[in-house]
Structure formats: structure tokens, C-alpha cells
Structure 1
Amino acid sequence: MDTLALVVTIGVALFFTYTNGFHDSANAIATSVSTRALTPRAALAMAAVMNLAGAFMGSGVAKTVSEGLIETPTGRSGMGILFAALVGAIVWNLITWYFGLPSSSSHALFGGMVGAALAGGTVVIWSGVVDKIIIPMFLSPVVGLLLGYLVMVAIMWMFRKANPHRAKRGFRIAQTVSAAGMALGHGLQDAQKTMGIVVLALTIADVQEQGDAIPLWVKFACAAMLSLGTYAGGWRIMRTLGRRIIELDPPQGFAAETTAASVMYTASFMFHAPISTTHVITSAIMGVGATKRVNAVRWGVAKNIIMGWFITMPAAALVAAASYGIVLLAFG
């Protein structure tokens, strides 16, 4: 039974990664597709490949997820906690995908972990949640907004005398690079989050010791499922990011993607902080759009997205807590 519970939990974790891929594929490519720098299928294929590559670039974020948020639960109840956390995250991902709302898969997972841990009587490391999740959740969009604005202002100044049509053609080409950088950052961040969950499951099952290196098969499985999910696409959310917030042109798309990728690399390598790719790219798009004129950004759409950010963690936590209760009734 313990082996079966481990296999099922890992399977659900990989399914979560798949939903993460199609939910968040828009993060990497919506701006490139909306400016016609890339065709949708070419953009998705490129993003899938770069997601796969990004997953192998580090392990700091995975360590934060597996060791820094909740005390390692034990036994069958511990596996139930992980299972319930993943169910909470998956349900919230599917709900927000259905409504085309670019909420954060990452924070759905963290909310699920906290909700399931509290329901299962496991200690939540609140200092880790605040330092590694809450503070970056508020800080990264602010940085994305301000940096996006500044990068776009710099581009406008540098190319103020350039031929507009020629400049746009050049930025369409440049966007293939910035979109690839964004997809690489997505793999670096989001594949590692699931790696952390799988490692936690292996630790609970006494398959490996806490602090051991992430097994190669775990890296590959998480990266592959994220890439497959990315290639499946997330067209509903792509429309929201690509057109409903603001109509982007190639220079703006390049500025937004470059900004978001820079923030993700900094968070991953310097702070090992698991930030939301959704939060960063959305805020960067807003910052870039505000350089045109403040009312060029459809702030009503932006307000709905921000409201989604705030309710994601508590909503996923509630679903996870309820899921743990069901698991306890069924298998307790």
C-alpha cells in the first residue's frame, strides 16, 4: 500500500506539472504570438524545448519547496497530505484555465501544501512561507512593473530616430530570443517546484534521505511533463495576456519578455525563491504598456487578474484541506 501511495502521489504530481505546462504556456509565448513574431505552433514547440532545458539548470527552488515550507510529514498521512495538496492545486489550475484567468500555478501548489498540512496536523514553517512565498509574491510583480516600464522607456529612447517599420521587423526577430529566454526561465522555475514535491514524496517513503541530490529520473520526468503540457497549449489564457491587457507591438513584447526572464533568473539563482511566472510577465506587460499612456492598459482586466492572485493561495488551500478530509475518510 505504501508503494502504491508513493506511485499514485508521484503520478498526480506529474499530472499537476502537465496542467502547469498548458496553464502557463501563455506566460512564455503570448506576447510573441500576439505581435506575430512567432506562429502559435512554432512558439509552443520552442517553449516546450526551452522548458525541458531550463529544468536541468538548477535545484535551489526545488530545495525550497521540499524543505522550506512544511515539516516533512511521515507515513501514510504524510503521503495523503502531499496528495491532497496536489489535488487542490490541480483543481484551481483547471478552474482558472477554464475562465481564462492567468492565476499562478505556483501559488496554487503552495496554497495546497499549506492547506493540506494544516488539515493533516503537520507543522507549517511560516517563516519560510513568508520569506520564500509571500514576500516574493508581492515584490516580484512590483519589480516586473517598474522594470518593464524602465526597459521600454530605454528602448524608446535608444530607437527614437530609427525607422518605425524597420525597428518593428528587428524586434520581431529579437522576440524569438526573448521568448526563448522566458520559456527557459519558466522551466527553471516551474519544473523545479514539482521536483521538490516528488523529492518530498520519496523522503516520506524512505526511498531517499532529506537533502540528497534530486535523482536524474525525477528531473527528466518533471521536465518532460511540463514540456508536454506546454506544447498542448493554453489558448484561453494566451488571449488574456496577449491582447486583453493591452495590444502589444514587437518592441513592447520584447521589453516585457526580457524583463520577466531577468526577474525569474535573479529569483532562481540568487535567492532560490519560487516566484510566479504568471505574476512577473503580467506585471511586465502592464509596465511596458503604461509607457504608451496610462489608460492604454485595460486596468479593469488587470484588476480581475490581480484579484485572482490574492485568492489563489487560500482557494487552493481550502480545496486541499477538503481533499485531505476525503482521503482520511476513504483510507484512514
Structure 2
Amino acid sequence: MEVSVIVVVVVVTALIFDFTNGFHDTANAMATSIATGALRPKVAVAIAGLLNLAGAFVSVEVAKTISGGLVTEALITPVVIFAGLVGAILWNLLTWLLGLPSSSSHALFGGLIGATLVGAGPSAVNGTAVLSKVLLPAVVSPVLAGLVAVSATFLAYRITAKADGPTVRRGFRIGQVASASMVALAHGTNDAQKTMGVITLTLITAGALAPGSAPPFWVVLTAGLAIALGTYVGGWRIIRTLGRRVSDIQTAQGFTAETTSATVILASSHLGLPISTTQVCTGAIFGAGAGRRLATVHWSVAGRMAVAWAVTLPAAAVVGAAASWTAASGPFGVVVVAVGGLALAAGIYAASRRNPVNAVNVNNVVALPAPRTASRTDQESA
């Protein structure tokens, strides 16, 4: 297979991953706003899609980290990157089917690392960068977001305790439109860059760009469009999980969770840290749930999410490694990986149609149990 052909295949595959990243992570920005009624579902995903596109043009620091930091570009080929992307896409689709808000970012890193280990050897993986820019932020960022959200939620309820309840709820609902929009912008800023970084890395390995190059404009544009389109499609299964199954979220909690998430994600993007927006937003939502007195928080859901987070990187790495080993046999191997990946993706999609979740029924779940001793004032005042 000619290098030019495999480069095109990798670029297209990267944009497919970007699309799955969009619908997989729509919940990060809009789950709480949809759950509280601050935004109608279709309006929410449309706003998120547009702001994801805008966010793609804010910064390229994360893209530079991926294209020139995690793996040694001189030691890998476009085929290795293709194999890593296949692993990431399949893990995204599987966790979407299960409604688990796992990390698209860690699926990408895992797939890329696994494929690189098999295709180029351990020396091609920058262990220091993986530890400092992937693993440590994965542990710190959701905890930090959760702690900030707990404090912000507690303060929000204390400050507005004696104010008129309906007026306060209306004010926070309006605030949620702004805070959710900021999360969507931040998501585009951080996550679209990951695909930019992968495409740039591919172009560097193929000799089309010099090492250390920033993403060309067309890369920024196509990555932004792909994640925006995926976001507009709407990852309704994960939106349901974060909006309805974590806690009985009220407008004040939605506002503090979204504001916390946007702040942490934008700060990380500025520092070039490719953090998981899913983990940040999930941590903030749990923190906001815990920050309201007598709120119901479903910690068993948190446990399932934590397991998914823990296995995401190694699971994607295993798939990426297997794809890399198969694709290394030549053009036929690449075709086998592509066809196999398409078949598995089609199977996952077919399984999802047995119990569809969409904009119409995303909030149609069994009501969360009310706190045993909560008064109406405690539950409804902001």
C-alpha cells in the first residue's frame, strides 16, 4: 500500500474517531442542562456542536503535546497510528452502548500506546510524558473538579438560602445556558486538539511535515467539524447517565458543575495537558451532587464509572496492539483490521437499536428516590 493511500486512510480514521468523541462526550457539556430543563435536548446539542467547532480554533497546545510528546514520531509509521485509532474507536462505541461516560482521550492514548509498543517497541513510548501528562492528570483532575464543585455548590445554596426560590431557580437556569456553553467551548478546545495532534503526527511520520510542526489550518478545521457533527448527533445514552443517574440535579448544582468543569478544562488546555473532559465533568457532577444538603448521590454509579476509567487505557491498548500486529503484515493486514473494525462497529450499533435512547426519551427514567428527611424547602430552594 502506498504511503499516500495509508495517510489518507489514517486521516479519515482519525476524523471518525473525532466524530465518536463528539457524540460520546456531548454529555460532558449538556447533561445537567438537559436534566434540569434549562435547555431542550435538540437545542442543547446544537449549541454544543457550534461551540465545539469554535473551541477547536482557540489553542493548539494539546495537539502539540500529542504530535510530539507521547510517542517518538521517528520510530512509528502511519500504520501504527491507524491501528491505535481502531482500538480507540471500538472502545468509544462499546462504552457508549453501555451508557458509560468513559474517557475518549484515554481510549485514544491507550490505543496509540498499545499499537506503538507492538509496532515500534517500548523505546518509542515516552514513559515520562505518559506519566506526567496522561496518568497523573487522570487521577488529579476529577478529584480536583469534584472538590471545587462541592465547595461551589455549598456556597451557592448558602448565599441564596433566603432569596425567593422561583427567582433563584430561574436565575440559575439562565446561568446554566452560559456555563454549559463554556463547557462545550472548552471541550472543543481540549478534545478536538487530540485528533489534530494525531493527524499532525501522521503527517510527520509520513514526511509531509517537519517534526515539531503545529497542525495546519485544514487539520484544525476538519477536526473541529468532525467533533461538532458528532456532538450534534447527541450521545443520548451517556447524557441520560450523567443527567439522571448520578444525582437528583437541581439548577444550582448544574450551574456549579458546569462552571467548575469549564474552568478546569480551559486551564488544562492552556497548559497543554490532554486531560479527560469526561472525567472532569463527571467529577464535577458528583461534587455538585454531594454539595447540596440531603441530596441523593448514587455512589454505586460512581463505582461502575471508576472501573470503566481504570480499564479504558489498557483495554484500548490491547485492541490497538492486536490491530497493530495484524496490520504489520502488509496491505492485506490493514484491510483485515479495517473490515474487522467496521464489522464490530456495525454490531455495536445494531445492538443499540434494541433499546434506543434519543432526544425524546432521554429524561424518561425512573425518578430518583427523594432524600428521606428532606423538606420541600430543602429540595426546591437554591
Instruction: Tell me the TM-score range normalised by the shorter chain.
Output: over 0.9
- State the distance in 2 between where 1:328 and 1:217 align: 29
Q: Which amino acid is 2:318 matched to?
A: L
Q: 2-side partners of 1:162 and 1:50: how far apart? A: 33
2:71 partner SS: coil
The offset of 1:153, in angstroms, is 1.3
CA distance in 1, matches of 2:137, 2:214: 25
Q: Please state how far the C-alpha of 1:10 moved relative to its aligned partner.
A: 0.3
Partner of 1:81: 80
* Separation in 1, partners of 2:90, 2:199: 19
Deviation of 1:292 (Å):
2.5
Displacement, 1:328? 1.7
* Residue of structure 2 in register with 1:289 after alignment: 289
- Does residue 301 (structure 1) correspond to residue 301 (structure 2)? The answer is yes
Which deviations, in whole Å up to 9, do the C-alpha atoms of 1:209-261 show, x marking residues without a partner? Answer: 01223210000000000000000000100000001011111111000000000
Q: For 1:33 and 1:90, how far apart are their aligned partners in 2? A: 26
Q: Is structure 2 residue 150 aligned with structure 1 residue 149?
A: yes
Give the aligned partner of residue 47 of structure 1: 48
CA RMSD after TM alignment: 1.2
Give the TM-score of the pair, scaled to structure 1.
0.97
**CA spacing shift, 1:187–1:322, aligned 2, 3 Å:** same
Q: What is the alpha-carbon distance in structure 1 between the residues aligned to residue 252 and residue 144 of structure 2?
A: 19
Question: Which amino acid is 1:322 matched to?
Answer: A
Bigger shift: residues 292-301 or 149-158: 292-301
Query: 1:92-131 maps to which residues of 2 (within 5 A)?
Result: 92-122=91-121, 123-131=124-132
* Farther off after superposition, 203-212 or 16-25: 203-212
1:37 equivalent to 2:33? Answer no
Larger radius of gyration: 2
Deviations 1:44-65 (A, max 9, x none): 1100010001000001100111
Does 2:242 correspond to 1:245? no
Partner of 2:204: 203
Deviations 1:285-320 (A, max 9, x none): 111111224772100011000110000000000000
Q: Counterpart in 1 of 2:223?
A: 222
Change (3 A) 1:293 1:153: closer
Worse-superposed segment, 114-123 or 197-206 = 114-123
Q: What whole-Å deviation, never above 9, does each CA across 1:261-284 have from its counterpart, x for those lacking one?
A: 000011111x21001111011110
1:66 and 1:151 mapped to 2: Cα distance? 36
The farther-off stretch of 121-130 and 309-318 is: 121-130
TM-score by length of 2: 0.84
> What is aligned with 2:316?
316
4+ residue runs over 6 A deviation: none
Flag structure 1 segments of 5+ consecutive residues without an equivalent: none
Contact between 2:200 and 2:214, CA under 8 Å: does it hold in 1?
A: no
What is aligned with 2:275?
275
Question: 1:11-33: per-residue Cα shift (whole Å, max 9, x none)?
Answer: 00000000000100111101100
Number of equivalenced pairs: 329
How many Å apart are 1:121 and its aligned residue?
Answer: 2.1
Query: Which residue in 2 is equivalent to 1:10?
Result: 11
Tell me, which stretches of 5 or more residues in structure 2 are unaligned?
334-382
1:176 paired to 2:177: yes
Percent identical among aligned pairs is 47
